[in-house]
Amino acid sequence: MIFKQMTIIGVGLIGGSLGLIAKQKKLVGKVVGYGRRRGPLQKASSLGAIDCYFLTLSKAIREADLVVLATPVGLFEQICQLIGPFLKEGAVVTDVGSVKGGLVECLESALPSHAFFVGGHPIAGREKSGVMAATASLFQGNRFILTPTSKTNQSALKKVATLWKKTGARVSEMDPFDHDQVLGVVSHLPHLAAYALMETLTHPKVAKRDPVQYSAGGLRDYTRIAGSSADMWRDIFIQNREAMIEVIDLYQETIEKIKKKIIRGDGPGLTEIFERAKEIRRKATR
């Protein structure tokens, strides 16, 4: 047992999956859930993702030696400010958010000196959200990124790393700002592209033909992640705005390059780009 009590704030896909595997492998003594609505928490309890739940934040975290922030990232700072006065001595607060950078520094400052923050991000997910999509195998074999800073307590860091290793994740460390640059390209941009493509289908020039009825596997597979939580990705794009603006500019530059080759009828040029893309994808899926 790594922690006596783990309180999960936001028992959805990630939080619920962590609760399931933590209980299954007895990584914590007790798993407590917190949320604003009773219904999802009752579902989490019936699934075995949590042992009990509270609708009052102070009660949920009062005895916790690990608090996991698993809400949309836009709520993290407010939550840390609210729980600060109720955290016990030596409590560890960690997160599963897709944005780090300046947010990590902000959360470190928001907590009292007797508690420790450890930034983390599981590179795992599904196109479905909510606790009903949770599974104990979600993190198995997938990467988990820790984002420590010079202020990170090393004992707390080691405990959080051990917890995630026991879930089956491959744990590594990265600078918080480097994390946002890298994830902006390989995770955030693909989601943005999927949302943008589906939004394009609503354009009057396209929508009047009802194109979705003619779609096959290509559209379905490419836009699978557009079924993800809208609230979660709204917050990710806003919190990681600087990196997102940069990668969007790069993406638009690439789209423009391809567009020009199509205009010129540059078959060899298009083939070169497509073959390069094919090779990069092959490496990514090995």
Domains of the chain in sequence order:
3-174 (3.40.50.720), 178-284 (1.10.3660.10)
The pLDDT value given to residue 56: 96
Beta bridge partners of 68: 8, 94
Name the residue with tokens 């994740």: 169
- Closest to 65 measured CA to CA, from 113, 96, 29, 14: 29
Beta bridge partners of 47: none
The pLDDT value given to residue 209: 84
Distances (CA, A) of 275 to 100, 247, 250, 266, 269: 34, 22, 19, 14, 10
Over the chain (286 residues), the average pLDDT of each successive run of 10 is 97 96 97 95 95 96 97 95 96 97 94 97 83 94 97 97 98 97 95 94 88 84 88 93 95 97 97 95 81
- Cα dihedral sign for 87, 21, 131, 170? positive
Beta bridge partners of 65: none
The pLDDT value given to residue 162: 98
Rounded Cα–Cα distance for residues 80 and 60 (Å): 13
Q: pTM of the predicted model, to two decimals? A: 0.88
The pLDDT value given to residue 245: 96
The pLDDT value given to residue 222: 86
Rounded Cα–Cα distance for residues 120 and 69 (Å): 10
- Amino acid 29 reads G
The pLDDT value given to residue 214: 81
